[in-house]
Amino acid sequence: MTERIVWQPFALYQPGSDFGIYIDRNFAREMLETKLSLEDRIRVKQLLLEVSERFGFNHPEPVDFHEDTAFIKGFYLCSGGVWLTADGLFDPLSLKENIREPVKYSSHNVNNSKQAYALMALIDWWAEYADTIKSLTLPAV
């Protein structure tokens, strides 16, 4: 059985080390539909902080969730403005439309391959543990 590709880097050739990531639109929709408690969002943030600390980064808020969902709008490495965020003004309603295009993320201020690799590790962790994160879903009321 072939697994679908959830995320893919692009534009790795840019000046400096900036790059972009495409994530599968269905994956984005699933994460947007997954509601997480504040405690679960804090736990996911803590785990992603541990991932970034392995690379020598320690931003106090390594990710930005869309409201109370498991969808991450942005990944942050340090207070120097190094990040990877969903492009433009993220519109969660656009994920409900029958569009096949992936969701695009772009990096900012990435100055070296260590920063690029750390951001890719964060998004990879999110994709790799998505099923575990989804199991944290609050029970329907």
Question: What per-residue confidence (pLDDT) applies to 49?
Answer: 94
Average pLDDT of the residues in 67-90 = 86
**CB environment 24-51: b (16+ within 10 A), e (fewer):** bbebbbbbbebbbeeebbeebbebbbeb
> One-letter amino acid identity for 8?
Q
- The region of weakest confidence among 5-14, 73-82, 87-96, 117-126 is 87-96
The CB-side HSE value for 42 (13 A sphere, CA atoms) comes to 3
* Tens digits of residue pLDDT in 93-102: 666 666 678 8
The CB-side HSE value for 127 (13 A sphere, CA atoms) comes to 20
* Tens digits of residue pLDDT in 104-122: 999 999 988 899 999 999 9
**What is the H or E stretch that residue 83 is in?**
strand 82-86
Q: Which residue has the higher pLDDT, 101 or 1?
A: 101
3 state SS of 51: helix
Query: Is 50 exceeded by the pLDDT of residue 140?
Result: no
